[in-house]
Amino acid sequence: MPEAYLGGNPDPAVMSLTGYENPTCFLRGTASGCGIVALDDVYRMQGTIYWQDGGGIRSDVFALPAGGEYTLEWAIYPTSRPDYYDFINLVREDLDVNFTVPGQFQFGLQSAAVMDLDELVAQIEERDLKVLSTGTWANGGGDPPYYHGAQSLEATGLRETFRKACENVRAIAPQVESLIYIHTFINLHEDTPERFPDSLITKEDGTPYINPSYTQRIGMPFYYCYMTLDNSYFQAMKQLVDVCLDDDEIGADGIYWDEVEMISPKRTYDRWDGHSADLDDEHRIERKFGDPHLLSLEAKVALVEHIRANGGPLIGNSCPRTRTMQDLHFPRFVETASEWYPARAHLYSPISLGDHKTVKDFAGLLDDIRLKLMWGNVYYYYSRPAQPYPTITQHMFPFTPVELHHGWVLGEERLITAVPGTFSLGDDDAVTVYWYDAAGAQTDRTCEERIEDGKRLIRLPLGEGEMAVIERR
């Protein structure tokens, strides 16, 4: 019986998967394989990937208005080897998602307003940081304890802290870009329903959706809104971007956009998106609803264009769940609270954010980097444990993906591996090899090289826990 990868997850106990960013089903036989990928926006957003009496992708909620039409698109890829990554690399090439990830990312920008600047320079150099971002707008024990969404426009104290942090980074490390956090769904105004009545995500009974766990933990109602081109929340989000980027305000270089396409409410009942409904056993519509991501799709594209028009770089959390967002080509990562989550990034920028729940020290950081490479991902910092010395992250970027594999990734600029083997960048160009021992320290070990059929082959007999980078000179 074939093994099934549902959205990149090979767990045999998982029989179906809905709501993630990798809309693929791959069946791995003994000598070959076959995969299917959903392509259009609605199919990707609604698709349930399944493996039961066969494998595939279905929608349980697809609907059309009377007289309406819509074209579902998918592609099937037979592979000559039973290798999931052969399938993924073919799909990636066809989707045109092998764009450059420019540099290493880290949270903690706000601390640059108060920390010793020599210490900050050392951290930037040690990790080869190219991007520093604020996290959530936590108010340091003040009232209110947090700002989110349009409510962030009222955070005058934090805005001044962020401004000072951006100025300090620009003064000591002008090559490092400063990003400010935004979230375009969560809003923490107590009177959110009155402020944004045309933008509220609502429950089936018409009342506003409030995230229960966040509300209990923070002590403030976590309302959710969504943007459309003609609603009030979109205008508020454009205003927030302007505050983040304008030189007369915070003056940051760019935007970090949290949870672009992964939020807790999956439905809103205040309007229909034209494609989503609960269906009865005969596939008749019982009740229509709107998917917040489909409803906000045009406004998200417009907000990206607004950020770029202001010259701002952009990094996002969660990978695209629509072709429309996929085609915008700005780096996005996935959070990795579950081991298989790096597979969610296989059809976009293959970046895993570190697992803050497990990374508590330098040894844990190295384990996490290795784990992400085993899933064909490069690494962004989340937890920031003290490092006794620079490690492999110093030579991870820029990275323009060419191929992803189990344990190693090939880019135009470099190859990064956590497994032994003989590797090549695909030509005979000279390379530099950085070999790291199991403790994460760079070694002076040399490797065997030869040129064969116009390709430079590098043999790397890595030991347990070792990693290496082959970098084009």
b/e map of 263-284 (b: 16 or more CB within 10 Å)?
A: bebbbbbbebbbbbbeeeeeee
| 438 backbone dihedrals φ, ψ, rounded to 5° | -65, -20
Task: Find the helix or strand (DSSP H, E) in which 309 lies.
Answer: helix 297-309
Token duo for residue 269: 């009942």
β-pair partners for 384: none
Q: Kindly write down the DSSP assignment for every residue of 181-247, as one continuous string.
A: EE-SSEE--TTHHHH-TTTB-B-TTSSBPB-HHHHHHHSS--EEB---TTSHHHHHHHHHHHHHH-T
CA separation for the pair 138, 146 (Å, rounded): 5
Burial (CB count <10 Å: 0-12, 13-18, 19+), residue 114: exposed
Cα–Cα nearest to 42, from 26, 25, 57: 57
CA separation for the pair 303, 219 (Å, rounded): 30
- How confident is the model at residue 140, as a pLDDT? 87
CA 70 to chain centre: 28
| Superfamily (CATH) of domain 104-390 | Glycosidases (3.20.20.80)
pLDDT in 10s for each residue of the chain, 473 residues: 789 999 999 999 999 999 999 999 999 999 999 999 999 999 999 999 999 888 999 999 999 999 999 999 999 999 999 999 999 999 999 999 999 999 999 999 999 999 999 999 999 999 999 999 999 999 988 899 999 999 999 999 999 999 999 999 999 999 999 999 999 999 999 999 999 999 999 999 999 999 999 999 999 999 999 999 999 999 999 999 999 999 999 999 999 999 999 999 999 999 999 999 999 999 899 999 999 999 999 999 999 999 999 988 999 999 999 999 999 999 999 999 999 999 999 999 999 999 999 999 999 999 999 999 999 999 999 999 999 999 999 999 999 999 999 999 999 999 999 999 999 999 999 999 999 999 999 999 999 999 999 999 999 999 999 999 999 99
CB 48 within 8 A of CB 18: yes
What residues contact 451, with CB distance under 8 A and at least 6 apart?
A: 428, 457
Token duo for residue 106: 């880290």
User: What is the 3-state secondary structure of 83-144?
Assistant: CHHHHHHHHHHHHCCCCCECCEEEECHHHHHCCCHHHHHHHHHHHCEEEEECCCEECCCCCC
CA separation for the pair 350, 410 (Å, rounded): 11
CA separation for the pair 415, 183 (Å, rounded): 34
CB 251 within 8 A of CB 290: no
3-state secondary structure (DSSP) of residue 37: strand
- How confident is the model at residue 312, as a pLDDT? 82
CB 24 within 8 A of CB 347: yes
- How confident is the model at residue 53, as a pLDDT? 85
CA separation for the pair 13, 4 (Å, rounded): 10
- How confident is the model at residue 311, as a pLDDT? 86
Cα–Cα nearest to 464, from 354, 355, 370: 370
Helices 297-309 and 232-245 pack at an angle, to 10 degrees, of 20
- How confident is the model at residue 145, as a pLDDT? 93
CA separation for the pair 427, 262 (Å, rounded): 40
CA separation for the pair 118, 400 (Å, rounded): 32
